[in-house]
Structure 1
């Protein structure tokens, strides 16, 4: 997937005001409109302009796009980092608006989904998340919009529960029409057992209402930071465990780290790389807790001196009839 430089497509500087962007789009849209343009590939250029304008005209999409940084070049191979939009507070209307299907794969990878509103930390209904006009078209007293943000937490926070101070960046447009952000600091209780893609609802932390309308709510989508040891699949947690060849061949009892502390694990004799050993109920906590899986990875000692090399030569002689590639139909 190719990176798209929307500023270059629009012919504007990265610090252009919203009015500058609007003027640039109108000028280029007239030039490349397929009904009147004589320019080569006018239709493709017009579509590309529409995509760039969809992002840059909207302060929320623009701020999110800008977080990708300035090091990317047009047409460069691109994959969005999983946490690229973490820590930014958006309205669902602003971030998820637009029909992603009419734009490029690049646009869809960034903005092709909207936040799931109306769910609490455990996927249950959390009340009506819509704002807008009341019955009969009245709008003087209207609830504020709900806001959404993705936050990154540690896997261990889900095991124990925690209280964390987070700082969200809220997109705003200043009086000169330039996009900026302000900080929104919050103390957030992380529920024990929360999982990725679930939400924490903070009542009254969204946009202000109109008149006497209540403030909207803020929904925090949970993602786990990448861990140095563990990986998560649903409610299950996996650890790749290095073991010595003799531990795998003869069996052993070894110490294994888990998010809840060190446990002793019995490795059966004649184990091979890739064997999974399950610790039932030691995954992410919950009404039905996940499991913790240990995946064995056999690690041979290095042959970095003459004694070690001699040992390996003796092993080769001892097991000269052993063919590790027999299943592949390859002879030694």
Structure 2
């Protein structure tokens, strides 16, 4: 499939480097920014440039776009062929439809990667470190699946009863 719409929006070739994409994005972003360009349609053009850059600046999203087209970010086109009832069209089954009508909201694929919370740390830097850069080591706790109960919160070999190691949370700080 030959998908060049996003490349055309930024005015770059399909084999453009990340630096070229970033430069083109900055140029087009300034050209169509609603605070600068008051022409009708400029805001829509700006949003299109944003969408193109968001996809092309991420190597994984760019590869998916190159292979499947602009709908790859929405879950379309990624199945290659029919693939059963789902068909790769982003339809997760009747339970998704009913749960959205009856208070269940959108269900999430439990195997899908989840984005973690943002981490914020206060780091003291000298003037020279701030100007010339420095490497600092930062230690933090993260959540990991409890190996004792495999994330169920239950003691091994029992029905769900509070795990003594993670206290029923399913995760421990390591």
* TM-score, normalising length: structure 2: 0.43
Counting strand residues as a fraction of each chain, which structure ranks higher?
A: 1
The structure with the larger Rg is: 1
Counting helix residues as a fraction of each chain, which structure ranks higher?
A: 2
